[in-house]
Structure 1
Amino acid sequence: MREFQGGVLVEGREDRAALFEYEEGIVAVVADGAGGTGGGAAAAQAVIDAVREQGWSAREGTWVELLGRLDRSVSPGQTTAVVVALGPTGLVGASVGDSEAWWWNGLVEHALTRGQRRKPLLGSDEAMPVGFTLEARGEGTLVLGSDGLWKYVRWERVPEALRHPPEQAARHLMESVRYPSGALPDDVSVIVVRAGA
């Protein structure tokens, strides 16, 4: 049986993030509501609520279909979304927008969301969710974040942060993009999950 430890941090009005634990594994989700569209925060929260209601699934198609349904129902707001289910044999999920998910296994990086469509966003009724699957049986670390993290973090800071327990790693990543004034360049969501054999 695999063991999971996680940390979730969110700062800002439009971002949402959650980590749901099940007997089979965990489901992590980040949604970054589009501030310029109006209703972005409500759209992001609708993603979190729908993932919670869905529950566990190790089927990539489940998450692609869920995001497809949300595209038609979260309007008038718009949002990005990344959903990752991490279980005993690997990761499956789906994404839309510029929030990202990465898997680290030692020094090897896997960009889970590399094939995603950045636009249109969920809520446009034109979004194109893209699914992904990665076999990952050993130890590793999952990192999800909104663009407020990935646009501003210096890449070498990520593996440095991941040397710490998940909650501290999430805090290090959040602080690495904070300005000296204490402000953040954008809303930021971070989820770090450590999976052990």
Structure 2
Amino acid sequence: MREIQGGVCIEGREDRAALFEYEEGVVAVVADGAGGTGRGAEAAQGVIDAVRRLGWSSSTQTWVELLGRLNHSLSPAQTTAVIVAVGPTALTGASVGDSEAWWFDGAAEYALTKEQRRKPLLGSGEAMPVGFFHEARGAGRLVLGSDGLWKYVRWERVLEALQNPPQEAARRLLESVRYPSGVLPDDVAVVVCRVERSPTG
């Protein structure tokens, strides 16, 4: 068995993030609504609500199909989406857009969303969700973030933040891209999960 702890930080009008806990594991979600459509926040929240309704799944195909349905039901509002299910032996999920998910296991760093299609966005009716599967039996750290994080954060700040408990790590990541004036260059949504082996696992 593994123990999973998570933290979520969000700042801005169009971004959404959530972490859902189940007996089998957790599901982490980040969505960055496209402000140019005028309904970006609505689209991003639609992703969160749909994941909540679906519940737990360790099937990559299930997440791809969910995003495929949202691609039509959210229209004309548009958003990015990253969904990661953290189970006992693997990370599974799907994504669309330029939000990203990374797994850090102490020995290497894995871009779970490296094969995703950045455009068209979810809700356009033309988005192409891409699923992923990554075997992860040991301990590690999972980070999901909207582009407001990944476009501006320095990599060393990511590694430094992950030395802290998940909620503090998420907060530090958000603060790492804030200008000295106190404003952010973009909306930011961050989810951090710390996965540890339990003493009996």
Residues 60-105 of structure 1, C-alpha deviations (whole Å, 9 max, x = no match): 0000000000000001210000000001001000000000000000
Deviation at 1:121, TM superposition (A): 0.2
Deviation at 1:123, TM superposition (A): 0.6
Deviation at 1:107, TM superposition (A): 4.0
Q: Counterparts of 2:55 and 2:112 in 1: how far apart (Å)?
A: 21
Alignment correspondent of 2:179: 179
Q: Secondary structure at 2:155's aligned position in 1?
A: coil
Q: Secondary structure at 1:171's aligned position in 2?
A: helix
TM-score of the pair, normalised by structure 1: 0.99
Q: Counterparts of 1:140 and 1:132 in 2: how far apart (Å)?
A: 17
Alignment correspondent of 1:92: 92
Structure 1: any 5+ residue segments left out of the alignment?
Answer: none
Is contact 1:58–1:92 with CA below 8 Å preserved after alignment? yes
Structure 2: any 5+ residue segments left out of the alignment?
Answer: none
Q: Counterparts of 1:79 and 1:94 in 2: how far apart (Å)?
A: 14
Alignment correspondent of 1:147: 147
Alignment correspondent of 1:36: 36
Deviation at 1:155, TM superposition (A): 1.0
Instruction: Report matched runs for 1:156-171 at 5 Å.
Output: 156-171=156-171
Q: Secondary structure at 1:179's aligned position in 2?
A: coil
State the aligned residue count: 197
Alignment correspondent of 1:77: 77
Alignment correspondent of 2:22: 22
Superposition RMSD in Å: 0.5
Is contact 1:14–1:41 with CA below 8 Å preserved after alignment? yes
Is contact 1:38–1:76 with CA below 8 Å preserved after alignment? no
Deviation at 1:165, TM superposition (A): 0.6
Alignment correspondent of 1:128: 128
User: Identity over aligned residues, as a percent?
Assistant: 76
Q: Secondary structure at 1:115's aligned position in 2?
A: coil
Residues 142-181 of structure 1, C-alpha deviations (whole Å, 9 max, x = no match): 0000000000001111111100110111111011000000
Pairing 1:109–2:138 present: no
Deviation at 1:186, TM superposition (A): 0.3
Q: Counterparts of 2:69 and 2:164 in 1: how far apart (Å)?
A: 37
Deviation at 1:118, TM superposition (A): 0.1
Is contact 1:105–1:141 with CA below 8 Å preserved after alignment? yes
Deviation at 1:37, TM superposition (A): 1.1
Amino acid at match of 1:189: A
